Amino acid sequence: MRIQEALSMYDKLNILTDAAKYDVACTSSGTSRKSDGTGIGSCEQSGICHSFSADGRCISLLKILFTNECIYDCKYCVNRRSNDVVRTSFSPDEVCELTMEFYRRNYIEGLFLSSGILKSPNYTMELIYAALYRLRREYNFQGYIHVKAIPGADPELIQKLGFLADRMSVNLELPTAESLKALAPNKTRKNILTPMRLVQNRMTENRQEIQLYRNAPRFVPAGQSTQMIIGATPETDYQIIQVAESLYQKFELKRVFYSAFVHVNDDAALPAKTGEGPPLLREHRLYQADWLLRYYHFRAEELLTEENPNFNVLFDPKCNWALKHLEEFPVEVNRADYKILLRVPGIGYKSAVRIVKARRLGSLDFTDLKKIGVVLKRALYFITCNGRMMYPTRMDEDYITRNLLYAGEKLPREVTEMGYRQLSLFEGGNGYCEDGICVQ
């Protein structure tokens, strides 16, 4: 038996950060709150990124595990009980101290607390609750807190925790129940969906309470989210976005996060190591599709089908959709409906709003669109301004595909440099007529 020495704070933080880094959600958005003047902390609706790590991901919250001692044996996880890694736990006070000191130096926007399962779900949940309670009530922390609800814990505990946190999440882990069974033998789909439903129902009730009593305590004001691992199991993109869509519709989730599978364990149940690294492009395409579902009024079955279940590598899902539905294009920017504008590649929801507002005060031209923020090198194949396209285009899938792929090289100089040259009257050697008088 090996007896572990007491670890320093630095080592503990190192170990428990390292164990938490595969959790994706690090957002601090969705709620807005000012400090009441007695403690520190506030929240911005948009969220704030405080730094970016070497992998380009944002660091917004102090993302740590409460403990990496875990009784479960999920095949994809570093902290599974069959792995031989150094185990350690924070005490509630240590978590509070770290959060407060980092927060006042403006390192972080708040705390993201997750945990391995120590002894039992309830036991772990109580420890987390103790830490958060102390942070909120004794240290008077009013910044952002994201906490994981642990499947299998008492509904009572989850509810109590929800009044302390801004966002709660239950990890879906894997897109389907079969995969979950294969890779996470100690977890069941039912166990995961129960707390999710509980948080949803409690949030609905809370909305009514707040309408009645303005100062009623807020339950998970920034909504709940979840995450799943992509690429560890054989699901198609179509299946995955269908799962995401139903989570948004049936569980009213704020976000679904996708995490490209990173090989940390060698296990027969996991896909073989290929040396290609995590499937980042696939993850990226899923996030793009996720945005289309949430902000662009797309439905999952519009983006992908049973026959064509995976995303195009070359184009983003919106561009891909547009290329397959050329019969709906080109659209007239000065007249088209807001929802139609949203479907044009190169027009985002911000530019769509700006277009709708600006065109009330005058008709828009391609140069105006450029200023508004439309990505013209994409949009130009799909739009007209006052009945004219930017330059003659064949509405042909191959033609547009080719041009989009070589955007920049294939386009005429006028297009790549943007902005039209004023036609000069005295240009060119040929005579022309002005006011009926021949000028040479």
Partner 1 sequence: MKTVYVCSDTVTGIFSGIYDAWKAGKREEDCEIALRGQLEQQLFCDYVEAEETEHKAAAVEALIMKHLGAKAYHDIYHAVLSSDPKKGDAVLGTMLAAKEIPDSTRIMEHLSHPKVEKVFELCRNVFGETHSYKGFLRFCELENGVLYARIEPKNQILTCLAPHFAARLPVENWMIHDVTHKTFAVHEAGKQWVIAFGGPADEEVFKRVSDREKEYVRLWRGFCKTIAIESRTNPRCQMQHLPLRYRREMAEFCNNSH
Using CB under 8 A, count the residues that bind partner 1. 59
Stretch that binds partner 1, among 102-110, 163-171, 197-205, 299-307 (CB under 8 A): 102-110
Q: Does the protein bind partner 1 through residue 85 (CB under 8 A)?
A: no
Binding mask 252-291 for partner 1 (x = CB under 8 A): --------x-xx-------------xx-x-----------
Stretch that binds partner 1, among 29-37, 188-196, 231-239, 414-422 (CB under 8 A): 29-37
The one-letter amino acid code at 5 reads E
CA pair distance 157, 138, nearest whole angstrom: 20
Measured from the CB atom, the residue of 204 and 363 that comes closer to partner 1 is: 363
Handedness of CA 175, 178, 182, 184 (dihedral sign): positive
Measured from the CB atom, the residue of 38 and 440 that comes closer to partner 1 is: 38
Q: Does the protein bind partner 1 through residue 216 (CB under 8 A)?
A: no
Region of residue 354 (left: phi > 0; alpha: psi -120 to 50; beta: else): alpha
Question: Which of 2, 4, 6, 106 is in the footprint of partner 1 by CB under 8 A?
Answer: 106
Question: Which of 39, 130, 139, 163 is in the footprint of partner 1 by CB under 8 A?
Answer: 39
Measured from the CB atom, the residue of 108 and 199 that comes closer to partner 1 is: 108
Cβ atoms of 221 and 31 within 8 Å: the answer is yes
Region of residue 227 (left: phi > 0; alpha: psi -120 to 50; beta: else): beta
Give the shortest CB-378-to-partner 1 separation in angstroms: 19
Complete DSSP assignment for 163-210: TT-SEEE---BSSSHHHHHHH-TT--HHHHHHHHHHHHHHHHHHHHHH
Question: Which of 1, 2, 38, 428 is in the footprint of partner 1 by CB under 8 A?
Answer: 38
Question: Which of 1, 2, 37, 423 is in the footprint of partner 1 by CB under 8 A?
Answer: 37
CA pair distance 49, 27, nearest whole angstrom: 8
Cβ atoms of 414 and 390 within 8 Å: the answer is no
Sequence-ordered list of residues with C-beta below 8 angstroms from that of 420, at least 6 positions apart, any chain: 367, 414
Give the shortest CB-189-to-partner 1 separation in angstroms: 27
How crowded is residue 250: how many other Cβ atoms within 10 Å of its Cβ? 12
Question: Which of 107, 133, 163, 251 is in the footprint of partner 1 by CB under 8 A?
Answer: 107
Q: Does the protein bind partner 1 through residue 422 (CB under 8 A)?
A: no
Give the shortest CB-353-to-partner 1 separation in angstroms: 10
Closest of 375, 377, 354 to residue 364, by C-alpha: 354
The one-letter amino acid code at 203 reads M
Whether the bond between 330 and the residue before it is cis, its omega within 30 degrees of 0, is yes
With vertex at residue 215, the alpha carbon angle to CA 164 and CA 96, rounded to the nearest 5 degrees, is 25
Give the shortest CB-7-to-partner 1 separation in angstroms: 13
3-state secondary structure of 61: strand
Closest of 233, 264, 208 to residue 82, by C-alpha: 264
3-state secondary structure of 110: strand
Footprint of partner 1 on 323-382 (CB under 8 A): 354, 357-358, 360-362, 364-365, 368, 371-372
Measured from the CB atom, the residue of 227 and 242 that comes closer to partner 1 is: 227
Which residues of this protein are in contact with partner 1, per CB under 8 A?
A: 9-10, 13-14, 17-18, 20-22, 34-35, 37-42, 44, 46, 48-60, 62-63, 98, 101-102, 104-107, 109, 260, 262-263, 277-278, 280, 354, 357-358, 360-362, 364-365, 368, 371-372
